[in-house]
Amino acid sequence: MKEKVVLAYSGGLDTTAIIPWLKENFDYEVICCCIDCGQGEELDGLEERAKLSGASKLYIENIIDEFCDEYIVPCVQANAVYENKYLLGTSMARPAIAKTLVEVARKEGATAICHGATGKGNDQIRFELGIKALAPDLKIIAPWRMTDVWTMQSREDEIEYCKAHGIDLPFDASHSYSRDRNLWHISHEGLELEDPAQEPNYDNLLVLGVSPEKAPDEGEYITMTFEKGIPTSVNGEKMKVSEIITKLNELGGKHGIGIVDIVENRVVGMKSRGVYETPGGTILMEAHQQLEELVLDRATMEVKKDMGNKLAQIVYEGKWFTPLCDAVKAFVASTQEYVTGEVKFKLYKGNIIKAGTTSPYSLYNESLASFTTGDLYDHHDADGFITLFGLPLKVRAMKMAEVEANK
């Protein structure tokens, strides 16, 4: 009986060409596995294409709700943003995909998992760290790093390879943006984006929405509610998280929200330039922060900011299934106990404008914050506080003056 390999299958040209390549070079039975994280119409016609290319079976595993509840929500609660801009759309999905690949491999009794990530990107790391953490016994096959066996270097090569193996597919050799899409975002790389000196061609590039210039001239008010840091409704309608993100994507895309052009530092040591569309995610992150401003104390917010940056790095580097990741998520979860309330904001030409926040756990005290003197605050108390708070500065200044006088 042939050994089985589970192939992370997107239906694109790369992973389609890998099917006959695996059979020819390793004599594997190829089980394709497409993990649905919200790619939409990209999944249409995959089963026929996989079977036509020589796969014995295709799994299409819908993990949209798991992706939202177990991966996106913890990152939103942490405000995990990589290098101040990237909302981790691809990074969050990879461990969820790796986990599902391992589950299918176990179900099928496979001995290996194969992915189509290149040797220059972050995804190879994210996939493989996830697989190693969950199934250290499984072999990992990365064709793009096996240059002695994988000899194809272009789309033309892959198309010719498929034709030589009797596979006639609806692909052409024309080059377009390299994209990755899920419910949270879509990323764009390639073409003019490979030159940081060039402006993105947003008319050709954008998929989830429009540029701020083409957004409506009228703003739109949105109201959201949260319970313990988890979004629960949009405009008064109760929804699960995946439905909320879908709705926010529609609203954000309409108003040009969440378009980011970034040159980021990849894990493998190079800089890469990409454009990310994250309309719903940008709104959700901002709304959550808007509520946290009311309910978290200063010291907790200070540490939480550091933990958010740390989680962003952990997730970006593919270290989701690690003790450190678990520990950081546990800290963040503990801060969400009272992040409950309602936020209102206006979407207008790429901007998210605050329009009011309420919470039963708000720490904002109007009598303290106002300029009038209330029972809780005596202005005279500030004298002693400033004297002690500034004492190190005063002592240092006195010492420096003494040193200067003795010269």
CA distances from 236 to 225, 283, 310, 342 (A): 8, 16, 34, 10
Q: Annotated catalytic residue: which of 14, 36, 53, 187?
A: 14
Q: Please give the Cα distance from 401 to 81 (Å, whole number).
A: 45
Q: Annotated catalytic residue: which of 49, 91, 94, 359?
A: 94
Whether 178 sits among the annotated catalytic residues: the reply is yes
**DSSP secondary structure letter of residue 228:** T
Whether 94 sits among the annotated catalytic residues: the reply is yes
- Nearest by Cα to 336 from 224, 228, 231: 228
Q: Annotated catalytic residue: which of 53, 123, 180, 181?
A: 123
Q: How do 29-36 and 57-62 pair as beta strands?
A: parallel
Q: Annotated catalytic residue: which of 69, 155, 157, 178?
A: 178
- Which residues sit opposite 273 in a β-bridge? 263
Question: Which are the catalytic amino acids?
Answer: 14, 94, 123, 178
